[in-house]
Amino acid sequence: MAGTTSAEEATVNLPLPDRGTPIPSGDHTVWADVSPLLDAACKDLQDGMLIHGDNFNLFAAMSALEIMDPKMDSGMVCKYYSVDEAIEDGAAPVPTSFDKTVDVQRTIDIMDHLLACEATWHKGHSLAQTVFSCIYLLRLDRTSSHALLNSYCRVIRATCKAVISVVSDARTHEEEDLFTMTYGLPLNGDGDEKCLSMLHAVEETISRQLRACKAPSSKTRVLEDLVSLQNNSELEEGYCKALLCRLRFRKHFYHVLTSMKRPQGRGLELARKHIASCISELEYTLSSSEILRSSTFGSHEGNLEDKTTASGCEPIGFDASLNCRLSAPTPPRAIKILSWKKAVEYFIKLLHDLDVICSYPLDPSLESVLHFVVEFQKSQPDLVARAHLQRLLVQDGKLYGRDPIFAVIIRAAALPESTRNHDIQKQESIIQLGQLVINLLKVLCTNGAWQRRKLGKILQDWRVVFVQIEMAFRKEFGENANISNDQNVSVKLFQHILLWVEKQTYWIACRFLILGFELELYSLSEYCMVYWYIYVVLIKLAEKTSLKTVVCNDSGKRKGKKKRDYVKDVARDYRIPPAVLFLQCQICLAEGLTMMLAALKNDRMLVQSRSPFNTEHERFIQQFELLQRACIPDHVSFSLFVESTTQACLSNLVMYDYFKDAHRIAKEIKSSFSNDPEKLAELRRLEQVAEHNSIALNVISRAGAQDPSLKVSFEFNHHPCFATAVVRRS
């Protein structure tokens, strides 16, 4: 059919000699207008009919990009056809006004709006639609005559580049895929390395202007041959100050980024100083809002809460539609730039998060690093902060770029430092284990949802690596290793590492289950099985932890003691270590909650709507499929869950109250954690949950099932993942 030339077409209108269509039709061809023909054909078509060729596929056709659809067509032309046209039209004049006072006001507005754009970008929108909606940034060279604007835009560009580099190095951006997309944006310009000195020069000038306007006489001004910032002497001081805090914030923020980038955490100390300066400059910036609002002309209708500038004025020189086609392949989403106030709040939070990262002692103990990351995630840090943390933790495949992963593992597995150069580290499975540890650290730095998904997946890898190491061990030493432990370092190495891998695997499983609460992935009808699963995983974790403690003490004490003395010592000294008791307390709570929920269900006290879509077994599979696939723990199945909960009833529960146990343990071990405020706070929370649940259980069992007005619900008001039963009379 292609290329058929027939007389039929001759009836189309006379071809337009490329009038109105500036696209050349090619050699020896012309454009023929077929609109009237198509209109006629459409009129003759029946409803639902199409004109199409043999290769037509309705399904494929449905994936066509719809032109002029705001959600699909990123090229829609709104106001201007191009940046150049916008500039010619006066959308971004330099200077922003010939009135110096207005120029200063407008420049401050541009600075504020850029800050709001930057925060919006950090929060997950594309750079093209946020920071680079600024026409001045898109054509930075135009501003060279305007030192203030030029230096500010330049440092913004350099900052964006630095942030992109951190985030793409950390590869945390996979969770926010838009973040590092910079295609087509003028991000690389000359002279950005000088941005700080330019900023410094401008800052110097303005601080002299500030001093001059504060001086009692105009003598200084004459002396220094200084031109004032703008013409209105009443506003001079306010404007100078407003500009200074904005410029200084940029300077310090850029310093924060560059110092944090220094290898092996060497710049963290310095970064903290700059972070403190950043925060105080932001506070000055916030306080400058009032004077800016009062001094600008024009009306201030509407709330400052949703304005993107401190003055409340609309900034000039921004058009997000100009380059939204650069944000391809994603469709341009309609985005709302954060308000200026929200942006400042965002940056203060970011700086606090960065400060937490910088103040963490570079401790090579993996356990404390993992604990730190988990604690850090509780404050829900945003992408940029998490990327910084990740890059600090893993550099060149080493912890903090200093400690080789094998050495870190050795330490975590409680082996002596002397073994860190042992040949075992060259084994394939041990190398893989090192990769898993690095991967785990990275995964823990990602956002909750992404993290949970990845944790679930890496559980299998940990299981596999465990099996591989075990096999390597067997291969080397046979089934029954008859070699004395004292003599053979390798045996000890293997045993310690295996134990540690198991413990770590259960730790990951535990984190995976607990994250489900934070992400609200469980429904009331699933709490029982979730707590049961947490209970079985915690038991394993406690078992491995206590075994590890025994093994550690074992190797520590043996030196220089005869065997007979040693046996006596163990019997005398053995106390359950606090870390295990801590887990014990959580185990009691999980078990108590499992039994309570099961009893409530069995006694029909808990109003649960049965899901019409899936059975309890199916839900069990859906929730724990990844754990089951990795055999964590071994031999745990749905039938075991049913078996252990089906007999639960309230009368038995009161006789044996798990919550009382939990409460007692929590009280007992508090003294062991007296110098760990985080653990103490956690214990207090556990204690509260135990106490409340114990009381609730009593109330329920006393009123009994015969009181239908009793309503039991569960809330997370004392602990984020251990629920508290609330009893109400309806």
Partner 1 sequence: MEQEAAETLIQVASSDGSEPAAVNRARKLLFRRMLVGIRDGRFFLGTFHCIDKQGNIILQDAVEYRSTRRSSPSPMEQRCLGLILIPSSCRTSCHVGCSVEEQLSLLSF
Is residue 70 a contact point for partner 1 (CB under 8 A)? no
291/238 Cα distance (integer angstroms): 7
DSSP 688: H
Q: Which is nearer to partner 1, 42 or 222 (CB)?
A: 42
The strand pairing partners of 714, in sequence order, are: 725
Q: Which is nearer to partner 1, 53 or 216 (CB)?
A: 53
Is residue 56 a contact point for partner 1 (CB under 8 A)? yes
Distance in Å, CB of 163 to partner 1, minimum: 28
Q: Which is nearer to partner 1, 67 or 655 (CB)?
A: 67
Give 314-376 as a DSSP string: PPSSB-TTTTGGGGTTS------PPPHHHHHHHHHHHHHHHHHHHHS-----HHHHHHHHHHH
Is residue 14 a contact point for partner 1 (CB under 8 A)? yes
Is residue 334 a contact point for partner 1 (CB under 8 A)? no
Given candidates 84, 141, 290, 486, which one binds partner 1 under the rule CB under 8 A?
Answer: 84
- The residue assigned the tokens 């044996």 is 656
Q: Are 376 and 153 in contact (CB under 8 A)?
A: no
Residue 626: count of CB within 10 angstroms of its CB:
18
Strands 403-404 and 398-399: antiparallel
Is residue 655 a contact point for partner 1 (CB under 8 A)? no
Is residue 52 a contact point for partner 1 (CB under 8 A)? yes
Question: Among the candidate windows 37-45, 110-118, 413-421, 557-565, which touches partner 1 by CB under 8 A?
Answer: 37-45
Q: Give which of 470, 460, 471 is closest to 495, Cα–Cα.
A: 470
- The residue assigned the tokens 């004077």 is 291
Q: Which is nearer to partner 1, 84 or 269 (CB)?
A: 84
Is residue 330 a contact point for partner 1 (CB under 8 A)? no
Given candidates 70, 75, 478, 704, which one binds partner 1 under the rule CB under 8 A?
Answer: 75
Is residue 90 a contact point for partner 1 (CB under 8 A)? no
Contacts of residue 536, defined as CB under 8 A and 6 or more positions apart, other chains included, come to 633, 636
Question: Computed from CA positions of residues 40, 43, 46, 52, in that sequence, does the dihedral angle turn out positive or negative?
Answer: positive
Question: Computed from CA positions of residues 7, 11, 16, 22, in that sequence, does the dihedral angle turn out positive or negative?
Answer: negative
242/288 Cα distance (integer angstroms): 6
Is residue 520 a contact point for partner 1 (CB under 8 A)? no
Question: Among the candidate windows 28-36, 111-119, 169-177, 525-533, which touches partner 1 by CB under 8 A?
Answer: 28-36
What's the token pair of residue 173? 């951006």
Is residue 331 a contact point for partner 1 (CB under 8 A)? no
The site that binds partner 1 (CB under 8 A) totals a number of residues, namely 67
Q: Give which of 566, 645, 605, 616 is closest to 727, Cα–Cα.
A: 605
Is residue 9 a contact point for partner 1 (CB under 8 A)? yes
Q: Are 143 and 136 in contact (CB under 8 A)?
A: yes
Is residue 571 a contact point for partner 1 (CB under 8 A)? no
The strand pairing partners of 398, in sequence order, are: 395, 404
Question: Among the candidate windows 69-77, 628-636, 674-682, 711-719, which touches partner 1 by CB under 8 A?
Answer: 69-77
Omega cis (within 30) before 93:
no
Given candidates 70, 71, 82, 224, which one binds partner 1 under the rule CB under 8 A?
Answer: 82
Q: Which is nearer to partner 1, 47 or 634 (CB)?
A: 47
Question: Among the candidate windows 81-89, 290-298, 338-346, 700-708, which touches partner 1 by CB under 8 A?
Answer: 81-89
Q: Which is nearer to partner 1, 52 or 568 (CB)?
A: 52
Distance in Å, CB of 326 to partner 1, minimum: 10
Q: What track of x and - describes contact with partner 1 for positions 277 through 316 (by CB under 8 A)?
A: ----------------------------------------
Binding site for partner 1 (CB under 8 A): 1-12, 14-16, 20-23, 25-26, 28-35, 37-53, 56, 58-61, 63-68, 75-78, 80-82, 84-85, 325
